[in-house]
Amino acid sequence: MEKDKNTIDSITIGKLIKELKKTYPDISSSKLRFLESQGLVSPKRALNKYRVYTKNDIKRINFILKVQKDFYLPLDIIKEKINSKEFEKYFKDGKSIENMQLDLGKEFKEKQKNKDLTSDELKKKLKLAQSFIDDLIDYNIIESRDDNGKIIINGDDIQIVKMAKELSKYGIHVKHLQMFENFAIRHSSFIQQIIMPLMSSSKKDLHRKGKKVALRLENDLSLFHGLLLRKENRKFLEKNK
DNA sequence: TCGTCTGCTATGTCGACATC
DNA sequence: GATGTCGACATAGCAGACGA
Domain locations in chain A as residue ranges: 2-104, 115-172, 177-241
CA of A142 to C1' of B10 (A): 38
Q: How many CB atoms lie within 10 A of CB A151?
A: 17
Q: Is the CB of A212 under 7 A from strand B?
A: yes
pLDDT at A69: 65
pLDDT at A111: 40
Q: Assess contact for A161 and A176: CB atoms under 8 A.
A: no
A123 burial type by CB count under 10 A (0-12 exposed, 13-18 middle, 19+ buried): middle
In a structure prediction context, what are the per-residue pLDDT tens digits for chain A, which is 241 residues long? 333 333 346 677 777 777 777 777 667 777 777 777 777 777 777 666 677 777 777 777 777 777 676 665 667 667 766 766 666 666 566 554 455 555 554 444 444 345 667 777 777 777 777 888 888 888 888 878 777 777 788 766 777 887 787 777 777 788 888 788 777 777 777 777 767 666 665 555 566 566 666 766 776 677 677 777 777 777 777 777 7
Q: Assess contact for A89 and A44: CB atoms under 8 A.
A: no
Give the architecture (CATH level 2) of A2-104.
Answer: Orthogonal Bundle (1.10)
Using a 7 Å CB cutoff, list residues 140-169 of A near strand B.
Answer: none
pLDDT at A110: 42
**Which of the nucleotides in strand B have any atom less than 7 Å away from a protein CB atom?**
9-14, 18-20
CA of A95 to C1' of C20 (A): 60
Fold designation for A115-172 = Multidrug-efflux Transporter Regulator; Chain: A; Domain 2 (1.10.1660)
pLDDT at A25: 67
A2-104 and A115-172: identical CATH topology: yes
CA of A174 to C1' of C17 (A): 46
